[in-house]
Chains A and B, each alone.
Chain A
């Protein structure tokens, strides 16, 4: 996990800053006199500057500098490993499990009866360690534990929020519609709530990566008891394949992956050749969300999530899909309030305070997670 960070930083320096910035005290014989053709990451930045400065106004510079600087990670404790031992080790690094911290703080408040605290709905058993605000320490790479599985999974801690928001109950049947490379799939399994879990992703190469993650983190017997099913289908068809089936569905759609697009040339959606595809993203996202809702049993829940700041890919997609379902299928869907997440996780994340539909984690240098948009939907009929 450290390698991608390093590579990311490297790419960032090379691309975002135009010229490579050499080590201090070192001078270059020659600096690039001609500007290379604009790389995709530059195009991404230009695009963001245009759209997000309008969307976020004065907040944009602070988001921008965060996106262009090293992101923070969270260490998701593997409950299939010796989790108490792993937790103790992480505590020694002076990292804290932000989930249990938030929950116990909330419960204290509730007991004191000071605030009108709504009942907490969140997926249980998740332990994710992060370093405090402003602390830029890094976690050492994950290691193979005594039980033959890796001890923790390093991920953007904000990626845990959609899984927490899905509010799993023990015995749930769960679908992860766009699952690869599998960070959230793994988190779903860590709740120990999934009676069975369908993990799907269109890309076979990416489902390969998902399989590897599962192999290194989940013991064989659990995988084999047919609890986890990995498929490579087009998620848009899921409504027809398995309609009205799942208790919980996670729709973590392909998006402009804002942070990623700023430092990785490979697979960058802002490549000129992928312009059409990029423009079609909201459409694809709507289709995937609609399919996810159709696959949900009436009364079940869906979380829609992206790692983009764009409201075209976030609330617009949610609202558009709800209209679509109402008009074409006469299915009623309701957006559920998650604003208590803002208070609950205020110490760890920086939330966008003006979000109307769903919640959005804004990258901030003192808490450089996200972007992560997530919205919880309740299928009523």
Chain B
């Protein structure tokens, strides 16, 4: 094992992962909550100590500073430089590249770090942050992030996402994601994509993660959701509930299906619940797609506009039929993946067997049709369809 701060960090994270998994197997949420709080505090402590230690080290060796300053002329000018500098410093400390300097961390030192890490968790919160006589400094955050496995390039970027957010906040949020089992890379991507995540109160992030777990989005799955829909953490609970309610109560998906939908089509969370319900109805009644296939084909992730354009086009071409009650059609419908999961060019060439010119016009016409569904027929709908059907029969 590689000695040094980096190794210790890895160890702490590994422990964290184990603890996290343990926590997940617990049924009672209070126990889980307690365990997770406990575990998190412990882990953070380890990191804090670690950071302090590295910081202490560089105080003891001003020479190194000078050396490195010569190598890096922009020293101290901006965070960016500091970060890369610290990266070098840490590598030097861990890898033993500059052996002539009194920088090499001895085994003993590591052991000491470890034992301190193990005891620090029992210290009261206040004491924990003020051991070093101040709040978490930028440098400490950088070190911690490095230890978590972020590259210095990513750290620079992370630090500049929300320049006004406190380093503590940054670290807290990032740690939370790391603890959820998301790797540094996707965490970085999510934060870049959705900087408002860094403004979230940590408590809310925690609450949301435990809620997502309850929905069945464990570590592995959450990674994907976070990746394509980081907003899952910033959204109002009310809005999340709205979507879940529609999926469960209105569309009658099973609990597992809801989990699968969230996992495969995380963007459903950002969709208007009414529109989502309409989309389901469109799939189920209009296209004759059953629940299982709606889930499997990731139908709900496509926009209603795209769905209607492609489906109605095929239908009017005579290439798609709504199955009857027995699920039968007179023609063989194309596979749903060949309708929706292909580029427009491929859709036209292979599925619709039609030209782009025609489809362009069709989309214009369809948009106008949709716009012009007359108000009168809307109010009729509200009154109930029976009347409408009666009327049609009279006309016959």
Interface contact B316-A28, CB-CB below 8 Å:
no
Given the known interface contacts A30-B385, A134-B361, A366-B358, the answer about A23 and B392 at a Cβ–Cβ threshold of 8 Å is: no
Say yes or no: is A275 at the interface (Cβ < 8 Å to chain B): no
Interface contact A10-B377, CB-CB below 8 Å:
yes
Interface contact A26-B365, CB-CB below 8 Å:
no
Shortest CB distance A24–B (Å): 6
Shortest CB distance B318–A (Å): 5
Number of interface residues of B (CB under 8 A): 47
Say yes or no: is A233 at the interface (Cβ < 8 Å to chain B): no
Say yes or no: is A240 at the interface (Cβ < 8 Å to chain B): no
Within 8 A of B (CB), among A27-53: 27-28, 30-32, 35-37, 39-40, 49, 53
Interface contact B278-A25, CB-CB below 8 Å:
yes
Using an 8 Å CB-CB cutoff, how does the interface string of B356-393 with A read, 1 for contact, 0 for none? 01101110111011101110011001001100110011
Say yes or no: is A365 at the interface (Cβ < 8 Å to chain B): yes
Q: Count chain A CB atoms within 10 A of each CB in B316, B317, B384, B392 and give the residue with the most.
A: B316
Interface contact B381-A20, CB-CB below 8 Å:
yes
Say yes or no: is B281 at the interface (Cβ < 8 Å to chain A): yes
Say yes or no: is A4 at the interface (Cβ < 8 Å to chain B): no
Q: Which residues of chain A are within 8 angstroms of B274 by Cβ–Cβ distance? A: 25-27
Say yes or no: is A9 at the interface (Cβ < 8 Å to chain B): yes
Interface contact B317-A70, CB-CB below 8 Å:
no
Interface contact B317-A65, CB-CB below 8 Å:
yes
Interface contact A365-B362, CB-CB below 8 Å:
yes
Interface contact A31-B313, CB-CB below 8 Å:
no
Q: Which residues of chain B are within 8 angstroms of A36 by Cβ–Cβ distance? A: 389, 392-393
Say yes or no: is A170 at the interface (Cβ < 8 Å to chain B): no
Q: Which residues of chain A are within 8 angstroms of B304 by Cβ–Cβ distance? A: 24
Shortest CB distance A59–B (Å): 11
Number of interface residues of A (CB under 8 A): 48
Q: Which residues of chain A are within 8 angstroms of B353 by Cβ–Cβ distance? A: 58, 61
Say yes or no: is A6 at the interface (Cβ < 8 Å to chain B): yes
Say yes or no: is A334 at the interface (Cβ < 8 Å to chain B): no
Q: Which residues of chain B are within 8 angstroms of A49 by Cβ–Cβ distance? A: 318
Cα separation A68 to B362 with both chains bound (whole Å): 10
Cα separation A318 to B170 with both chains bound (whole Å): 84
Interface contact B393-A32, CB-CB below 8 Å:
no
Say yes or no: is B312 at the interface (Cβ < 8 Å to chain A): yes
Interface contact A39-B318, CB-CB below 8 Å:
no
Cα separation A53 to B353 with both chains bound (whole Å): 15
Interface contact B392-A26, CB-CB below 8 Å:
no
Cα separation A22 to B308 with both chains bound (whole Å): 12
Residue of A nearest to B388 (CB): A20
Say yes or no: is A19 at the interface (Cβ < 8 Å to chain B): yes
Say yes or no: is A296 at the interface (Cβ < 8 Å to chain B): no
Q: Which residues of chain A are within 8 angstroms of B285 by Cβ–Cβ distance? A: 19, 31
Q: Which residues of chain B are within 8 angstroms of A96 by Cβ–Cβ distance? A: none
Interface contact B370-A39, CB-CB below 8 Å:
no
> What would 19 A/B residue contacts be, using CB atoms closer than 8 Å?
A13-B369, A13-B373, A15-B392, A18-B322, A22-B373, A24-B370, A26-B278, A32-B389, A36-B389, A61-B354, A64-B317, A65-B313, A65-B318, A70-B369, A134-B357, A134-B360, A136-B364, A271-B396, A365-B358
Which residues of B come within 8 Å of A, CB atoms? Answer: 272, 274-275, 277-278, 281, 285-286, 304-305, 308, 312-313, 315-319, 322, 324, 353-354, 357-358, 360-362, 364-366, 368-370, 372-374, 377-378, 381, 384-385, 388-389, 392-393, 395-396
